[in-house]
Chain A
Amino acid sequence: MSISRETAINLVLALLLLAVPFIAMQLGKPFYVTLATRMAILGLAAIGLNIALGLGGLVSFGHAAFFGIGGYAAGILASHAFSGQPLDFGLFAVPGSKLMPVIWAVAILAGGLLAAAIGSISLRTSGVYFIMITLAFAQMTYYFAISWPAYGGEDGLSITIRNTFPGVNTLVPQNYFLICYALLVVGLVLFAVLRDSRFGAALQASRQNEVRVASVGIAPFRIKLAAFVISGMITALAGALYADLNRFVSPSMLSWHMSGEFIVLIILGGVGRLCGPLAGAMLFVMFEYILGGLTERWQFFLGLLLLGVVLFARGGLIGLLAGRARHG
C-alpha cells in the first residue's frame, strides 16, 4: 500500500511531537514537556473547531466558550472534591470529583449542551452573522464567568493538585503529556473517520453547496448542528485538559482572543486538513516560545506573520507541504 504525501507528513508530525518530551528529558529541559503538552491540547481543541470550520465551513468565532466550559468543568469538580461540599443544583446534588475520566465526561457533556444551545440559534443564520453571533455568545459566557463570584469570578479558580487518572501518576509531566497525546490521537482518528463517513460527506457538501444538499433530500441544518455539537464537545475536552495542565481556570479561557487563536491554529496548519490543527498548534506554540523569548512584542510579529499567511500563503503548512486537498 502506498502512502500519500499528506499521510507521510501527518505521521512525521505526530511522531515528532511524541519525541519532544523524551528528547527534552535527555537534554535536561523539562519545560519542553509542558510545551509539548500545550501543543497536544491546543491541537485537540483546534481539531474540534476544524470539524465545524474545516469540514462544515462554519466559521465559529466563539469556540473559547466550549474550551472554557470544559476548563471550568474540571476546576469546579475538583474544587468540590477538594472541599468535600457537593455541587448543589437545587433539586439534587452531586459530589465533586478528582478523577479525570469523570471530569472529561462532564466537560464533554457540558460542551455538547452549550454547543447545542448556541448552535440552534446561530445556525439559523450564516456568513458574517454566524461569525458575529458565535462571538457574541462566547462573550456572554465570558461576562457570566466574570460576574459570578462563586468560582473565583475575575480571579479564576485554582486546581490545588492535578486531577488523577487510574493507574497513572499524573503529577509526572511526561505521564500527563502521554495522556493528552493519547486523546489527541483519538481526536485525529475521530476527525478522519467522521470526514470519510456519510455524515462527513453531507457536512462537507453543505459547506460547498447547501441548496444542493437540500435538493437531494438531506436537511443541512441538522447536519450542521450535529457537527457543531461534536465540535464543541471535543474543544471542551481539550479545555478540561488545559485546566489540568495549568492547574488553573480563569475567564481568559473564555475570551475572544482564545477563539481567535483557535482559528489562527487552523489557518496556520491548513483548513480542513486532518493534521492542520496539530501542525498549527506546534507552529504557534513554538513561535510563541521562541519569539516570546526574544522580544516582549512578539504578538506584533505574530500579527505580521498571520497577515502574511492570509494574504500570500493560503493553505497553511500542510497545504504548503502536501499540496491541495483531494476528495475521492
Chain B
Amino acid sequence: MQTALFIEQILNGLQLGVMLFLMAAGLTLIFGVMGLINLAHGSLYMVGAFACAAVAGATGSFWLGLAASLAAAAAAGALVEILVIRRLYERDHLDQVLATFALILILSEGTRWLFGSFPLYLDIPPLLQGTVPIPGGSRYQLYRLAIIGVGVAVAVGLFLLISRTRLGMRIRAGESDREMIGALGVDIRTLYTVVFALGAALAGLAGAMVGALQSVQVGMGEPVLILAFVVIVIGGIGSIKGALVGALLVGLTDTMGRFLLPQLFGVFMDPSRAGLVGGAVASMLIYIVMAVILAVRPQGLFAAKG
C-alpha cells in the first residue's frame, strides 16, 4: 500500500509539474523574445478556465469548452498585447510590473463582473472519468494521467515548433538579437503578438484542464503564477528546457515534500507535532530549493543569456 501511495504521489507531482510547465513555457517565451515580465499571465489561465466552464456548461461538451478556452485565452492574449503590452517592450521592468499588475485587477474584476462571485464547476469529460490500475495494487484517476499526457505532448510540440518551423526560427532569432530580426524583414509586431497569444493559449489550456479538478474562480491563477515564477527562476529565464526541468522539479518537490516531510519529522517527534512542523516546512520547501539553486547558480539551471 505504501508503494502505491508513493507512486500516486509521484504521479500527482508530475501532474502539477506539467501544469506548471504550460504556464512557465509561455512566461519564459514571452520574456525570452520580448524581454517582458508578465504578471497577468495568471489571469490568462483564469480566462481559459472560465471560458471552458462557461462553454461546457452551455453546450454540455467539455471538448468544446477546451477548444473555447484555447481560443478565448489566445484572443484575450492578442487583444491585451495589441492594446497594452506592446507599449511596454521598451519600458523598464518596473513599468512592466505595474502595468501587468493593473491588468490583473482589470481582468479579475472584469471576470467577476461577467460571471459573479460564485465559483463555477467543470465536470471531467465522460471519456476520461474513472481510474486505471497502477503498480502496487491501487488505482489512479485517468483524467490526471491525461493531463500528464497533454503536458508531455505540448512539451514535444513546443520543442518541434521552436527547432523545426519558420515561426520557431524567428522566435530563436528574436531571442538572440532583437534588431537583427527586424533587419531580416520579419514583421516584428505580428511575431510578438503571435508569441504572446501562443503563451496565453498554453496558460488557458492549463487553466481549463485544472478547472475540472478544482473550482473555477477569480484569483485562481495567482498562486499558479507565482509557482511558475519559481519555476523559471530555477530553470533560467528564457529557456524552455529550463522551464520543463524546473516545472517537474517544483511539482515533484512540492508534492513529495507535503507527503514525506511529516513522516520524516515523525521519526523524531510525536505525530501531531510532526504533522505541524512537516507541513509548515513543506509549504516553504520549493522556495528553499529555489534559494539553494540561486546561491549556487544565480542565473538558474539553464540560463539562456546573461
Contact = CB atoms under 8 A, between A and B. Distances in A.
B109 A300 contact: yes
B172 to A, nearest CB: 20
Interface residues of A, number: 40
B102 A306 contact: yes
Nearest to B112: A297
A311 B95 CA distance: 8
A139 B237 contact: no
A304 interface: yes
Interface string A29-63: 00000000000000000000000010000010100
Interface string A303-318: 1101100110010000
Given A144-B280, A267-B98, A314-B95, A132 B113 contact: no
Interface in A255-285: 256, 260, 263-264, 267, 271
A136 B233 contact: yes
Interface of B is mostly: helix
A74 to B, nearest CB: 21
Interface in B88-117: 93-95, 97-99, 101-106, 108-110, 112-113
B229 A136 contact: yes
Contact of A136 (B108, B226, B279, B298): B226
A149 B276 CA distance: 8
Contacts of B106: 300, 303-304, 307
Contacts of A260: 101
A128 interface: yes
B37 interface: yes
A315 to B, nearest CB: 12
Contacts of A127: 93
Interface in A187-230: none
A299 B109 contact: yes
B291 interface: yes
A264 B99 CA distance: 10
Contacts, number: 115
A148 B273 CA distance: 11
A308 to B, nearest CB: 9
Given A146-B283, A300-B113, A311-B87, A132 B229 contact: yes
Nearest to B110: A300
A256 B222 contact: yes
A304 B94 contact: no
Interface centre among B101, B230, B298 (most CB of A within 10 A): B101
B105 A140 contact: no
Nearest to A255: B222
B105 A299 contact: yes
A143 interface: yes
A302 B107 CA distance: 12
B289 to A, nearest CB: 11
B299 interface: yes
A139 B97 contact: no
B93 A310 contact: no
Contacts of A135: 226, 229
A157 interface: no
B132 interface: no
A54 to B, nearest CB: 10
B97 A61 contact: yes
Interface in A113-139: 121, 124-125, 127-129, 131-133, 135-137, 139
Contacts of A121: 291, 294-295
A131 B109 CA distance: 24
Contact of B290 (A59, A133, A267): A133
B96 to A, nearest CB: 9
Given A144-B280, A264-B101, A311-B87, A131 B93 contact: yes
A147 interface: yes
A299 B104 CA distance: 10
Given A144-B280, A297-B109, A300-B110, 10 more contacts: A121-B291, A129-B299, A133-B233, A136-B290, A264-B98, A297-B112, A300-B106, A303-B103, A303-B106, A306-B105
Interface of A: 53, 59, 61, 121, 124-125, 127-129, 131-133, 135-137, 139-140, 143-144, 146-149, 256, 260, 263-264, 267, 271, 297, 299-300, 302-304, 306-307, 310-311, 314
6 contacts: A121-B294, A129-B298, A131-B37, A136-B229, A147-B279, A304-B102
Which 8 A-B pairs rank lowest in CB-CB distance, beginning with the nearest? A303-B105, A300-B109, A303-B106, A140-B287, A306-B102, A143-B283, A132-B229, A307-B102
